[in-house]
């Protein structure tokens, strides 16, 4: 019987002999050091940065919805009461939707900064190095620009967060943020190839974004040279990009690819829920947001082609947005930049800087003609400005443009009847409470 | 002649033995109290490992040196040593140990007498467990012990409870007590992957309470620190039943009952006419009571059969259980089939091997719960009465905003199947004089398979053309313990009980989860038929813990009792720089009643003063929380991608709680009144905090050891025998107060706005206070809600928030009164919680005055025109305000049981030892001012301990009527 005892003791002691037994590594994650140490790792990390555009706080949902909801295209008709605050332009600093926009854009910035921080130490072909660096700079500029538009002068991040030493950072001035965005895009424009698959940034994506950035900056500074740059960049995209206006407006939402300068692509595994949020209950949707009655009224009779591609009515005669249709799989693309915008950017930059009326009309009419509308006959700048504003409203309904349009042109107070200070969203409470150098926007 | 040969042989044999100085000794061992023979008593020759055990008739015989000392020992009896002195017959009477030292209690890695315990330990034995009709482990514990609060997350069958001992030691790490079954730590918590939001699964429900012989709740460091880094939340030790010696008992228990939701607790809602008046609709002829449509009276049944038997060497316990709990919400139920075998065998008088295994299969039919727009209960509460269940074609009406709950309850498939095996084998070897070596090997295997399918006849299913999910979770926990114990009493004064031990545990978990859509036909509900796989994942996790521990107990004449304990825990969870944690504790008890000056006072039976001090740990952090990590699955445009998910913290370690306690046990009038009183002060430092960091960094939080909190409190246990005549009346009363306070956080930044109700952690306040806007009521001129502008800047901003409530109760209490007369017994169990606030989040929607949500009947009194004075606004808003804070105090008549035990003479004829019939009402009535359905529920807002007392369409607890029979053969 003693044998049994010895066997037990021997078994028991075997558990003591293993020295490294507490050293267990995760199987679902890898350490930061191993993650990015070769060209493949860099490529995966860049892909991970693009992935953040999928976020619900990004083009995956809320940056699309908020633009039209905070403005006058959409109304809140659902259950998520944080949307109500946005609809009423009375946003609390703890609003989860706004928090998500902030967080998602900074997530993207941190991901690309990790790549930019490490890429110099990794050997790879020059083409690859240019491509990944260009991708990183484009995404960083896009995220900084979105943050700038929604929150004002925000902290510029050009270094990755590796530990806690850099997490407290003060706001930068609006001018500094613009400088950073323009510098990043100007480099990206040189590094990126002219042609990329859908969903990935090309040199023309960078140019197109630069056009938008210059136009926005012009409205802020009134500096005519900046407007000229916007005109130049838009012109380069129109002239050299090889993009073609989709023959029919409805094609844009039925698989046309010729007009897309930059878009976010989705698939069944990485889906958006835009259609579910737009679709009415009778079609199993959530109907969180719906086209506001005034918008429907002004749109439906004057602009039939675009209206019919944008808004439909269900069996109860409730209007709902239909630019995102795939409520089952959520694979609808989300446009970030497309050719029509370049024409309208050029037209707007010229209209605000007393450009040639005919040229302005020509650009507007490219968009109007495609929509089956008569050419514009607007003859003076104030009128043209309003025509452009309305074109944009109809052309880009539910495409993440309306709020930025009204804020950029300082028309938000007039059109929406809100206090100008509320054209900036509140800095999220979570950031304010943890970043001891952060300050809140006025009015919150 | 033959006789002579025999005699000669015998003589020569005797002669041979005389040379060895051995003589045959035999005798009878009986119990001192009733002179019944005691089988299985160990008889050892002192100083050797030679000996025997008594047989079924209490007789023993062995050969022993004529000058030897025989040691007679038996569990629960006082050991006796008797010199042989050439005597051939030695009869022995053994006395119960508890005459001297009280009943035996299982504590960490050993067993001790209750009277020699110097810490705070509470015991729940078989008899007490048996009288509770609830058939889940945590249900049994509810309200029974002081200081252990158990809050159901939901009243759904097999649903999860939140356990907390002495206020909870942690903010972000687990507050779940360590659960140890027969010496093996087992898997607890929720591992379900199909999101049920508020109706999570609970690994504890797989254990059949009828298999439990005793439960010991170790509350303070002196008792728990032997479990080191997992001891801060207390330890619950469960001992399952062993076979009986010398007799065979067959026990059969059956019960059957009905459950419903108490009608008086349902929230009165607007009728169709009210709705027409409110919304200006004009719907006639329909007035659906949606709650009636989804609520049912649900049956529940339980059958338990067990056999317990054994002889002096072998003991066996076998049990089987079938438990079926229907759900009061259509489409829910829980069934459990379980079996257990415990056996042990004495190979030699000093060598025992044994083991046990419990096997459970359970089948849980579920529906989605709280925070979802696809749950039958929340949807039924949220749909106005003007909608019919079926439309004119006979199909489910789906024209309302929320999906038709009857369609979901009837058609959605949602199953969780559990296979659970908890087992152990052990060897116990006694050697030299007083040494015992025990080696134990245990496994806990927990397999969970989930299957879900939403057919196109539900709104969710229609959206996806069928939505199917398969999830598996395979978890195992393997434990090896080795313990060497030495017990000895010197000069009949100095008693030593010392042990050292080692333990190794390995936990592994593997999961898969697949989600598919676009099914061709609703009959094809498995994923092989899915047109599109929308999501798929498989994960793996290993965890190792290696520990060493030691305990030294000393007492002088059972009067002065010292205990010193220490444990070293090494865990793979901890950071590079802190792999091992050390947890010492000490305690002292003085049994004053043993002093001559108190011994004279005959009405004092026991007076013991206790003091403890020690450190315990909490390792309930995420695995690999110390590493800087990149995660995968961040795929885009057909490429696979990675992204940083976690910042490194190589210093990450366990939380440490310093526990200080004082108490006394007082027992008078022949133990008719016993009082246990405890005071404690627990201070936790190095709090594991998912510390929020600015999200502009690309991260939300970092796991770090920052912050301190304290819990101080008082616990009283009072057991009295009030009347002890033909009519008896006994009362068990427990009372606990706890005060929790956060002492420091990182730069004292609050953790803000958690969960639905704006729960918050702030320095100087208890964990999880409600923090929001102070609602001043409804403006009679506009009908809008008015909030207090605390900073007077003219606008309501986040700076205008304040503490609006506290979910932590002022005190909790439980009281059981048992009345018996002749063969009748009536038991009434009351439970009370006082002074806690609830955030009634349901009303955010049901008293919103806007949108498509059904409204409470109170909203008929809403503001309608200027001048109306009312507390219900024209239109609500989404501010988390004091408007939704309510007093959550309650007194629950938890249980009333009336039983009748048949006369022994009657049942003897049909071969029974005893028979009993009983009727029970569980959750009979709730006294409360709370306007929600149940003040005792908590919306499950994630794993944090911060979100407490938040009601959000939460499934209330059910009222159960049971009748039962129990037989003993």
Transcribe B328-342 into DSSP letters: SBTT-EEEEEEEEEE
Give yes or no for a contact between B622 and B590, defined as CB atoms under 8 angstroms apart.
no
Which chain B residue lies closest to A441 (C-alpha atoms)?
Answer: B797
Residue B8 has pLDDT above 60, yes or no: no
What is the predicted pLDDT for the residue at B1? Answer: 44
Instruction: Tell me the shortest Cα–Cα distance from B371 to chain A, in angstroms.
Output: 12
Residue B806 has pLDDT above 90, yes or no: yes
B12: pLDDT confidence band, cut at 50, 70 and 90? very low
Burial letters B264-285, b for 16+ CB under 10 A, else e? ebebebbbbebbbebeeeebee
Mark yes or no for CB contact A328/B463 under 8 Å: yes
What is the predicted pLDDT for the residue at B123? Answer: 84
Contacts of B571 in chain A (CB under 8 A): 22
Tokens describing residue A84: 């109500």
**DSSP assignments along B288-333, one per residue:** --HHHHHB--EEEEEEEEEEEEE-SSEEEEEEEEEEEEE-SBTT-E
B602 vs A180, residue with greater confidence? A180
Mean pLDDT across the stretch B815-825?
93
Mark yes or no for CB contact A23/B697 under 8 Å: no
Nearest-by-Cβ selection for A163 from B546, B634, B647: B647
* C-alpha closest to that of A136 among A160, A161, A112: A112
Q: Domains of chain B (ranges plus CATH)?
A: 121-240+296-327+336-374+412-768+806-836+888-968 (2.40.170.20)
What is the predicted pLDDT for the residue at B833? Answer: 94
Mean pLDDT across the stretch A98-124?
96
Nearest-by-Cβ selection for A328 from B465, B623, B639: B465
Q: For residue range B347-375, list pLDDT tens digits in order.
A: 988 899 999 999 999 998 988 776 677 88
B9: pLDDT confidence band, cut at 50, 70 and 90? very low
Contacts of B877 in chain A (CB under 8 A): 81, 84
* C-alpha closest to that of B402 among B424, B380, B431: B380
Q: Domains of chain A (ranges plus CATH)?
A: 38-192 (1.25.40.390), 274-321 (no CATH)
Q: For residue range B681-704, list pLDDT tens digits in order.
A: 999 999 888 888 999 999 998 888
What is the predicted pLDDT for the residue at B850? Answer: 83
Contacts of A164 in chain B (CB under 8 A): 647, 693, 702
Mark yes or no for CB contact B634/A31 under 8 Å: no
Pairing of strands B950-951, B837-840: parallel
Mark yes or no for CB contact A284/B692 under 8 Å: no
Nearest-by-Cβ selection for B637 from A4, A33, A50: A50
Tokens describing residue B237: 């030790």
Selected residue of A48, A152, A156, A426 to mutate for chain B interface (largest B Cβ count, 10 A):
A48
Q: Which spans in B196-298 are helix H?
A: 221-224, 272-279, 290-294
Instruction: Tell me the shortest Cα–Cα distance from B400 to chain A, in angstroms.
Output: 7
What is the predicted pLDDT for the residue at A3? Answer: 61
Question: CA triplet B300, B305, B311: central angle to 5 degrees?
Answer: 160
Residue B944 has pLDDT above 70, yes or no: no
Nearest-by-Cβ selection for B517 from A53, A276, A329: A329
Nearest-by-Cβ selection for A433 from B571, B631, B750: B750
3-state secondary structure of A123: coil
Answer whether A49 touches B (CB < 8 Å).
yes
B957 vs B154, residue with greater confidence? B957
B14: pLDDT confidence band, cut at 50, 70 and 90? very low
Q: Identify the residue whose tokens are 């999830």.
A: B471
d(CA A256, CA B920): 70
Mark yes or no for CB contact A169/B694 under 8 Å: yes
Long-range contacts of B15-22 (CB under 8 A, 24+ apart): B17/B63, B20/B65, B21/B65, B21/B66, B21/B67, B22/B63, B22/B64, B22/B65, B22/B66
Nearest-by-Cβ selection for A8 from B427, B629, B749: B427
Residue B97 has pLDDT above 70, yes or no: no
Q: How many other CB atoms are found less than 10 A from the CB of residue A374?
A: 8
Q: How crowded is the C-beta side of A392, counted as CA atoms within 13 Å?
A: 26
ipTM of the complex: 0.91
Selected residue of B396, B630, B796, B879 to mutate for chain A interface (largest A Cβ count, 10 A):
B630
d(CA B641, CA B622): 24
A415 vs B152, residue with greater confidence? A415
Question: CA triplet B834, B836, B839: central angle to 5 degrees?
Answer: 145
Answer whether A216 touches B (CB < 8 Å).
no
Tokens describing residue A429: 């409470």
Residues 271-300 of A with CB under 8 A from B: 271, 276, 281-282, 284-287
What is the predicted pLDDT for the residue at A25? Answer: 79
Residue B961 has pLDDT above 50, yes or no: yes
Q: Identify the burial level of A414 via C-beta atoms within 10 angstroms of its C-beta, where 0-12 means exposed, 13-18 middle and 19 or more buried.
A: exposed
Nearest-by-Cβ selection for A94 from B627, B643, B798: B798
Residues 66-125 of A with CB under 8 A from B: 79, 81-82, 84-85, 92-94, 99, 102-103, 106-107, 109-111, 113-114
Mark yes or no for CB contact B572/A23 under 8 Å: yes
Any idea what DSSP says for residue A251?
G
* C-alpha closest to that of B198 among B243, B143, B159: B159
Answer whether A190 touches B (CB < 8 Å).
no
What is the predicted pLDDT for the residue at B196? Answer: 60
Q: Identify the burial level of B747 via C-beta atoms within 10 angstroms of its C-beta, where 0-12 means exposed, 13-18 middle and 19 or more buried.
A: exposed
Give yes or no for a contact between A218 and A234, defined as CB atoms under 8 angstroms apart.
no
Mark yes or no for CB contact A438/B694 under 8 Å: yes
Average pLDDT, chain B: 87
Any idea what DSSP says for residue B182?
T
Mark yes or no for CB contact B629/A31 under 8 Å: yes
Nearest-by-Cβ selection for A79 from B373, B518, B572: B373
Work out how many CB contacts closer than 8 A connect A with B.
Answer: 267
Contacts of A110 in chain B (CB under 8 A): 644, 697-699
A183: pLDDT confidence band, cut at 50, 70 and 90? very high
Mean pLDDT across the stretch B248-272?
93
Instruction: Tell me the shortest Cα–Cα distance from A405 to chain B, in angstroms.
Output: 25
What is the predicted pLDDT for the residue at B898? Answer: 94
Tokens describing residue B817: 């009164």
Mark yes or no for CB contact A47/B639 under 8 Å: yes
Four-residue CA torsion sign, A287, A289, A294, A296: negative
Q: For residue range A271-315, list pLDDT tens digits in order.
A: 999 999 999 988 888 899 999 999 999 999 999 999 999 999 998
Contacts of B432 in chain A (CB under 8 A): none
Q: For residue range B195-229, list pLDDT tens digits in order.
A: 665 556 666 777 788 888 888 989 888 888 888 88
Mark yes or no for CB contact A24/B645 under 8 Å: no
Of all residues in chain B, the percent with pLDDT exceeding 70 is 95
Nearest-by-Cβ selection for B641 from A25, A48, A443: A48
Which chain A residue lies closest to B535 (C-alpha atoms)?
Answer: A269
Answer whether A58 touches B (CB < 8 Å).
no
d(CA A134, CA B139): 60
């Amino acid at each position: 019987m003693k044998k049994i005892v010895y066997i037990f003791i021997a078994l028991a002691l075997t558990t003591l002999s293993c020295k490294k037994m507490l050293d267990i590594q995760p199987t679902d994650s890898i350490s930061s050091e191993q993650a990015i140490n070769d060209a493949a790792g860099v490529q995966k990390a860049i892909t991970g940065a693009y992935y953040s555009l999928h976020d619900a706080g990004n083009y995956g949902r809320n940056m699309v919805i908020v633009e039209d909801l905070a403005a006058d295209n959409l109304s809140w008709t659902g259950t998520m009461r944080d949307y109500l605050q946005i609809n009423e332009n009375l946003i609390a600093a703890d609003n989860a939707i706004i928090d998500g926009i902030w967080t998602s854009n900074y997530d993207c910035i941190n991901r690309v900064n990790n790549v930019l921080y490490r890429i110099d130490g990794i050997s790879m072909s020059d083409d690859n190095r240019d491509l990944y660096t260009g991708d990183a700079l484009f995404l960083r500029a896009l995220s900084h620009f979105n943050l700038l538009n929604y929150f004002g002068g925000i902290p510029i991040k050009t270094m990755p967060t590796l530990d806690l030493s850099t997490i407290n950072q003060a706001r930068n001035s609006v001018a500094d943020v613009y400088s950073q965005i323009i510098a990043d895009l100007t480099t990206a424009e040189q590094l990126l190839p002219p042609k990329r698959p859908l969903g990935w940034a090309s040199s023309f994506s960078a140019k197109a974004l630069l056009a938008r950035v210059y136009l926005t900056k012009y409205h802020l500074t009134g500096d005519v040279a900046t407007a000229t740059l916007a005109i130049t960049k838009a012109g380069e995209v129109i002239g050299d990009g090889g993009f073609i206006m989709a023959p029919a407006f409805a094609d844009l939402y039925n698989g046309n690819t010729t007009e897309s300068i930059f878009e976010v692509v989705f698939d069944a595994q990485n889906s958006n829920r835009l259609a579910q949020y737009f679709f009415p209950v009778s079609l199993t949707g959530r109907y969180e947001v719906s086209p506001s009655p005034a918008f429907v009224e002004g749109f439906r009779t004057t602009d039939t082609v675009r209206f019919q591609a944008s808004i439909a009515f269900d069996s109860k005669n409730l209007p709902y947005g239909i630019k995102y249709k795939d409520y089952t799989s959520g694979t609808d693309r989300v446009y970030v930049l497309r050719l029509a915008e370049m024409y309208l950017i050029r037209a707007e930059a010229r209209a605000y800087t007393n450009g040639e009326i005919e040229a302005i009309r020509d650009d507007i009419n490219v968009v109007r003609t495609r929509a089956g509308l008569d050419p514009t006959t607007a003859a003076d700048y104030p009128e043209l400005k309003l025509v452009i504003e309305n074109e944009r409203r109809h052309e880009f309904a539910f495409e993440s443009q309306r709020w930025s349009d009204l804020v950029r042109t300082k028309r938000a107070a007039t059109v929406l009847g809100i206090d100008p200070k509320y054209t900036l969203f509140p800095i999220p409470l979570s950031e304010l409470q943890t970043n001891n150098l952060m300050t809140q926007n006025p009015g919150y | 002649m033959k006789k002579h040969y025999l005699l000669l042989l015998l003589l020569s044999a005797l002669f041979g033995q005389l040379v060895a100085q051995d003589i045959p000794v035999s005798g009878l061992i009986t119990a001192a109290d009733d002179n019944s023979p005691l089988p299985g008593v160990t008889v050892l020759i002192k100083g050797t490992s030679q000996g025997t055990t008594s047989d079924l008739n209490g007789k023993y015989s062995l050969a022993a040196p004529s000058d030897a000392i025989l040691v007679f020992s038996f569990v629960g009896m006082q050991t006796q040593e008797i010199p042989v002195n050439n005597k051939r017959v030695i009869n022995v009477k053994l006395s119960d140990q508890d005459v001297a030292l009280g009943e035996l209690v299982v504590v960490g890695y050993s067993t001790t007498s209750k009277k020699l315990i110097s810490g705070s330990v509470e015991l729940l034995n078989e008899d007490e467990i048996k009288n509770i009709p609830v058939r889940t482990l945590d249900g049994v514990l509810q309200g029974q012990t002081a200081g252990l609060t158990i809050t159901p997350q939901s009243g759904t069958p097999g649903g999860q409870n939140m356990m907390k001992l002495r206020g909870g030691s942690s903010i972000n790490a687990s507050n779940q007590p360590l659960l140890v079954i027969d010496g093996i730590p087992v898997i607890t918590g929720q591992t379900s992957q199909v999101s049920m939001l508020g109706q999570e699964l609970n690994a504890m429900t797989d254990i059949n309470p009828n298999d439990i012989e005793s439960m010991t709740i170790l509350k303070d460091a002196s008792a728990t620190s032997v479990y080191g880094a997992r001891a801060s939340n207390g330890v619950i030790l469960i001992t399952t039943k062993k076979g009986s010696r010398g007799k065979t008992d067959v026990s059969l228990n059956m019960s059957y009952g009905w459950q419903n939701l108490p009608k008086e607790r349902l929230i009165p809602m607007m009728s169709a006419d009210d709705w027409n008046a409110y919304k200006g609709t004009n719907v006639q002829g329909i007035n659906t009571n949606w709650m009636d449509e989804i609520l049912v009276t649900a049956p529940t049944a339980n059958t338990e059969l067990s056999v317990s038997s054994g002889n002096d060497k072998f003991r066996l316990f076998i049990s089987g259980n079938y438990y079926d709990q229907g759900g009061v919400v259509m489409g829910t139920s829980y069934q459990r089939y379980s079996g257990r075998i415990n056996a042990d065998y004495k190979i030699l008088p000093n060598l025992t091997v044994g083991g046990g295994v419990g096997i459970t299969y359970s089948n849980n039919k579920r529906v989605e719960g709280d925070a979802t727009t696809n749950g039958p209960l929340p949807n039924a509460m949220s749909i106005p009465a003007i909608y019919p269940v079926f439309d004119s074609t006979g199909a489910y009406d789906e024209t309302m905003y929320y999906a038709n709950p009857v369609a979901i309850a009837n058609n959605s498939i949602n199953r969780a199947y559990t296979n659970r095996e908890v087992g152990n084998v052990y060897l116990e070897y006694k050697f030299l004089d007083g040494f015992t070596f025990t080696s134990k090997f245990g496994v806990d295997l927990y397999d969970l398979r989930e299957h879900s399918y939403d057919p196109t006849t539900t709104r969710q299913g229609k959206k996806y053309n069928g939505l199917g999910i398969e999830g598996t979770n395979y978890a195992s926990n393997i434990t090896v313990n080795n313990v060497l114990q030495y017990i000895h009493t010197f000069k009949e004064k100095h008693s030593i009980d010392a042990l050292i031990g080692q333990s190794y545990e390995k936990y592994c978990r593997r999961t898969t989860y697949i989600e598919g859509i676009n099914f061709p036909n609703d009959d094809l509900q498995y994923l092989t038929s899915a047109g599109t796989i929308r999501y798929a994942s498989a994960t793996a996790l290993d965890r190792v813990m290696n520990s060493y521990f030691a305990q030294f107990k000393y007492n002088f004449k059972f009067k002065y009792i010292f205990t010193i304990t220490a444990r070293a825990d090494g865990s793979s969870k901890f950071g590079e720089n802190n792999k091992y944690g050390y947890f010492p504790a000490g305690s002292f008890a003085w049994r004053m009643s043993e002093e001559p000056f108190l011994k004279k006072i005959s009405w004092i039976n026991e007076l013991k003063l206790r003091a403890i001090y020690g450190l315990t740990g909490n390792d309930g952090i995420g695995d690999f929380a110390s590493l800087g990590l990149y995660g995968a699955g961040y795929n885009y445009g057909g490429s696979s991608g990675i992204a940083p998910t976690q910042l490194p913290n190589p210093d990450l370690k366990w939380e440490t709680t310093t526990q200080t306690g004082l108490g006394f046990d007082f027992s008078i009038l022949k133990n008719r009144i016993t009082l246990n009183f405890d005071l404690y002060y627990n201070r936790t430092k190095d709090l594991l905090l998912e510390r929020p960091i600015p999200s502009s960094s690309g991260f939300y939080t970092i796991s770090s050891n920052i912050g301190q909190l304290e819990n101080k409190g008082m616990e009283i246990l009072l057991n009295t025998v009030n009347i002890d005549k033909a009519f008896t009346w006994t009362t068990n009363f427990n009372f606990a107060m706890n005060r929790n306070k956060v002492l420091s956080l990182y730069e004292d930044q609050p953790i803000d706005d958690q969960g639905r109700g704006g729960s918050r952690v702030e320095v100087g306040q208890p964990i999880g206070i409600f923090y929001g806007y102070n609602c001043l009521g409804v403006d009679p001129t506009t009908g809008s809600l008015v909030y207090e502008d605390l900073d007077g800047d003219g606008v309501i901003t986040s700076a205008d928030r304040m503490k609006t409530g506290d979910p932590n109760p002022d005190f909790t209490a439980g009281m059981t009164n048992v009345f018996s007369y002749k063969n009748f017994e009536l038991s009434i169990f009351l439970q009370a919680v006082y002074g806690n606030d609830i955030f009634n989040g349901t009303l955010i929607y049901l008293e919103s005055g806007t949108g498509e949500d059904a409204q409470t009947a109170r909203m008929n009194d809403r503001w309608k025109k200027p001048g109306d004075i009312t507390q219900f606004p024209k239109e609500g808003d989404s501010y988390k305000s004091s408007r939704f804070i309510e007093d959550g105090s309650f007194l629950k008549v938890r249980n009333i049981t009336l039983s009748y035990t048949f006369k022994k003479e009657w049942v003897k004829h049909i071969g029974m030892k005893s028979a009993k019939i009983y009727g029970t009402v569980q959750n009979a009535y709730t006294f409360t001012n709370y306007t929600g359905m149940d003040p005792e529920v908590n919306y499950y807002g994630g794993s944090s301990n911060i979100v407490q007392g938040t009601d959000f369409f939460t499934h209330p607890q059910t009222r159960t009527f049971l009748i039962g029979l129990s037989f003993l053969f």
